[in-house]
């Protein structure tokens, strides 16, 4: 069965600190996609990134970066120089468990304090 583990339930940092959110997944699929979503206090999940299993290059988008390591089944997310607006719940979601079904982890709640 597909499974995703976000071991950090809550993280609290002070503004401008760097923070890494961990994601470890299990899949039997040889090709698959991985996603990260952000859920701000308003409740709607916002798409952050999509990565396919063929591409292990790290990706950077502004203050956000992602480290995908297929050998360890991990897809970690780093926020550099965190800001208060980064406070949210972040979900890792591998594609699997059936056609077009994303499997969501329990989420990591990030609190960035001024």
Partner 1 sequence: DGGITQSPKYLFRKEGQNVTLSCEQNLNHDAMYWYRQDPGQGLRLIYYSQIVNDFQKGDIAEGYSVSREKKESFPLTVTSAQKNPTAFYLCASSYQGQNYGYTFGSGTRLTVV
- State the nearest-atom distance from the C-beta of 53 to partner 1, in Å: 10
Cβ contact 108:21 at 8 Å: yes
For the CB of residue 15, give the shortest distance to partner 1 in the complex, in Å.
Answer: 24
Q: Return d(Cα 58, Cα 67) in angstroms, integer.
A: 5
Contacts (Cβ under 8 Å, ≥6 apart) of 40: 46, 87, 88
- Residue placing its CB nearer to partner 1 in the complex, 12 or 52: 52
What's the residue count for the chain?
Answer: 114
Nearer to partner 1, 12 or 81 (CB): 12
Q: Which is nearer to partner 1, 2 or 80 (CB)?
A: 2
* Strand 10-14 with 108-113, pairing: parallel
> Looking at residue 37, what DSSP letter applies?
E
CB of 91 to partner 1, least distance (A): 7
Binding residues (CB under 8 A) for partner 1: these are: 9, 32-33, 35, 37, 42-47, 50, 52, 91, 95-96, 99-102, 104-107, 109
Give the residue with the Cβ less far from partner 1, 15 or 22. 22
């Amino acid at each position: 069965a597909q499974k995703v583990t976000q071991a950090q339930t809550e993280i609290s940092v002070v503004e401008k600190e760097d923070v890494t959110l961990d994601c470890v997944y299990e899949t039997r699929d040889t090709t698959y996609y991985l996603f990260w979503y952000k859920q701000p206090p308003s409740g709607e999940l916002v798409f952050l990134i999509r990565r396919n299993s063929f591409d292990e290059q790290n990706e950077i988008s502004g203050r956000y970066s992602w480290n995908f390591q297929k050998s360890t089944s991990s897809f970690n997310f780093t926020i550099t120089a965190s800001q208060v607006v980064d406070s949210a719940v972040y979900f890792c979601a591998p594609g699997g468990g059936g056609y077009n079904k994303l499997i969501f982890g329990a989420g990591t709640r990030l609190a960035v304090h001024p």
